[in-house]
Structure 1
Amino acid sequence: MIALDAAHVPAPNEDDFDRRRLPGAYSQTIHHIRELRKERYALLLRGHPGDRFRAAQLSWFIRNSEKYAARLLAQMEQLGATAAHALPTLPSALPDQLDLFA
């Protein structure tokens, strides 16, 4: 009963943890949405009744995932993390001794 009355007190480094965690979670959610859309489009092309039902389910999952991604983005903006951290970056150039095509 006491635990129900206690307010959540964040740890001192919880914001820092979220600042590092949220861009990865956002990136993973966006990837998941893309994969769900691919699966939904493939099912719609087939056109079987069961496939249309599954495509409707996937549409619901996609909509919920988009809402979750929007909440993550808002939380990232609140904490000062940027979505740029979540986007894949190009690898840095290889040193000359490792570049086979130099």
Structure 2
Amino acid sequence: MSTPMQRPAAPAPVPPRQTSRTGKVVMLSGSAAVVVLAWAGAPWWAVTVVAVVGIVMPGVILLAQVVLPHDSEHKRDVMLAALRYWDRRADRKRKQREQRRRRGK
């Protein structure tokens, strides 16, 4: 008896990468908000705050997308490293507070 020959399966198609337009939308909405506030006669500090937020937020979103891309296989490792760092930092601050409290007694 002979066994039938099997052909190797074709590789699975790679799904297209989805791009995010969040940064562009935030930037456009920030610019529109600044224009509306300035046109409505809002105080200068309110216009400045909205303008700064409108400039900073797209940068933060872009940085987050670069550091943690949606399809990254290392995303979990980066998040775990950040969580460990924050835990060590919180422990260090807690120990410093305890030492200061002991010295004060």
Q: TM-score, normalised by structure 1?
A: 0.32
| Max Rg structure | 2
Higher relative contact order (CA 8 A, sep 6+): 1
Q: TM-score, normalised by structure 2?
A: 0.31
